Amino acid sequence: MSNTEYVQWSEKKIPLAGKVDIFVAGGGCAGSGAAIAAGRKGIKTFVAERMFALGGTMTCGLMSKISISAVNHGIAEEFIKHLDAYQKSNFLASRHEVPVDPELCKWMLDKMVIDEAGADVRFGTTICDVIVNNRTIEYVIIDSINGLEAVKADYYIDCTGDGQLSFKAGASCMVGNDEGYGSSPTLLFRIANVDIEKLISEMEAHPDTYASERNTYSNHKISPGQNRENIANNKYAHFADFIPLIRQKVKENPGLLTDWELEMILQRGFIFMCQPQGTHVMVNSTRIPFFRGTDNKELSCAMVSGRKQIEATVRFMKAFIPGFEKAFIMDTASMLGIRESRRIIGDYVLTEDDINGFSKFDDAVVSNMGGVEIHGTNGKGTNIIEQKKNGFYHIPYRSIIARDFDNLFMAGRCFSASHAALSAARNIAYCMALGQAAGNAASQLAHSGKKNVREINITELQRELVSIM
């Protein structure tokens, strides 16, 4: 029985901050895709974002590599083309894995979402409650430096990653696998002042010492020389996992790492990737097992554990990884890298069978190629199922509309998918595409004065979404 005590929170009158066509909750990649799509239709769009930048996990979370398959076009592809044009680079050529600079991404999203699409973006603004009338969301209550305010919209798009808007509205949610745990999160960080050329030369000279032990994607398994060539040609380079070296050094130097540090580090070894600027790497190594992502104490402990793992990792790397002797931590993410938390139940729940069987749907709004990639819910292993080269599957419109509401969409990693299906379809380009689909759909409905997401003209929507095959 719960021991929670309760207090009465009296009803208040609060100012109405705006009446808009579309309210976008969260300005991550999905929210940015939704706001750009709606803004381009001339639709009045309000975006509430709790951080002070757009991009979510990609920027504040430092997940600075966009996976974009051959069938992903639309805003995600456009976004990378803009970054390439600005940097005078050609990173899109390294599709399926495009390294990006999170700081440049923040600026580019400001430009595309606010300056060009005209969305009214409010930073430092948290969705804290929802006023609901039967199956309709009437108002969202936001909290910011202004205090509490309300916003009214015809349609609401939940792009909070954690399904915060839908959860507060009372929508049915799913969390994790059968035991309630999702793919483990990672606190990402960047290391500066790295001499990658030195590391590559050592890897070429001593291949056994630097071998990797764990399962990874075949396009990550490239020779050190190929990584050198990729870096020279503005392409993606990936280094993993150094586990034999870690074991050897720990054996030779007892007391180097505590038992806990070693256990944490051996979950994934060291995984890092090049960044557009070349002198630093982004590290995707830490792991928080047994994670649900639905409790603020759990989230706080995860950040603390992540920073402890980072300190131990960098201590080891500076001592034993060639090229890292003068390296230092450039930054740690200000947001935990959450792969999975709440998923909202829609009219259809995308399944693992849909992914593996390349399901196609009449109401498709996104085409995808990503395969299942579950990151050890219990800290152990990563389950990667690579898709066949030419196979792709659809995500249906019914998976981005909330089953329990008539004016609520969800896009990005809180869309309606099973634990395994989400692990395949959570990549940045897919999240942007889901946002774009929801933004276009809500714009069509708002334009025509319709009151229910189920009144969509799906053929018209699909005509606008160039990504659908």
Determine which residue in the list 94, 164, 267, 436 makes contact with ligand FAD, applying CB under 6 A.
164
- Of residues 226, 228, 327, 232, the one with CA closest to residue 270: 327
For ligand FAD (CB under 6 A), the number of binding residues is 38
Q: At its nearest, how many Å lie between ligand FAD and the CB of residue 95?
A: 11
Q: CB 91: neighbour CB atoms within 10 A?
A: 22
Please tell me whether residue 122 binds ligand FAD under the rule CB under 6 A: no
Contact 393, 367 (CB under 8 A): yes
User: Which phi and psi angles does 92 have, rounded to 5°?
Assistant: -60, -25
CA angle 186, 373, 208 (to 5 degrees): 75
- Residue closer to ligand FAD (CB basis): 202 or 331: 331
Contact 156, 171 (CB under 8 A): no
Q: At its nearest, how many Å lie between ligand FAD and the CB of residue 469?
A: 19
Please tell me whether residue 108 binds ligand FAD under the rule CB under 6 A: no
- Residue closer to ligand FAD (CB basis): 126 or 452: 126
Longest Cα pair distance anywhere in the chain, in angstroms? Answer: 71
Please tell me whether residue 468 binds ligand FAD under the rule CB under 6 A: no
Give the integer Cα–Cα distance in Å for 342 and 170: 13
What number of CA atoms fall less than 13 Å from residue 351's CA on the CB side? 7
Q: At its nearest, how many Å lie between ligand FAD and the CB of residue 433?
A: 11
Q: At its nearest, how many Å lie between ligand FAD and the CB of residue 214?
A: 15
- Of residues 159, 142, 129, 131, the one with CA closest to residue 35: 159
User: Which phi and psi angles does 391 have, rounded to 5°?
Assistant: -85, 145
- Residue closer to ligand FAD (CB basis): 339 or 394: 339
Contact 78, 72 (CB under 8 A): no
Beta-bridged to residue 147, according to DSSP, are: 144
Please tell me whether residue 56 binds ligand FAD under the rule CB under 6 A: yes
Please tell me whether residue 379 binds ligand FAD under the rule CB under 6 A: no
Determine which residue in the list 20, 21, 24, 27 makes contact with ligand FAD, applying CB under 6 A.
27
Q: At its nearest, how many Å lie between ligand FAD and the CB of residue 243?
A: 19
Please tell me whether residue 428 binds ligand FAD under the rule CB under 6 A: yes
Helix (H, G, I), strand (E, B) or coil at 330: strand
Candidates 43-51, 191-199, 300-308, 439-447; binding stretch for ligand FAD (CB under 6 A): 43-51
Determine which residue in the list 74, 306, 337, 371 makes contact with ligand FAD, applying CB under 6 A.
337
Please tell me whether residue 399 binds ligand FAD under the rule CB under 6 A: no
In sequence order, what are the residues at sequence separation of 6 or more whose Cβ sits closer than 8 angstroms to the Cβ of residue 226?
none
Q: Which residues bind ligand FAD (CB under 6 A)?
A: 26-31, 48-51, 56-58, 63, 65-67, 126-127, 159-162, 164, 185-186, 188, 284, 337-339, 412-413, 426-429, 431
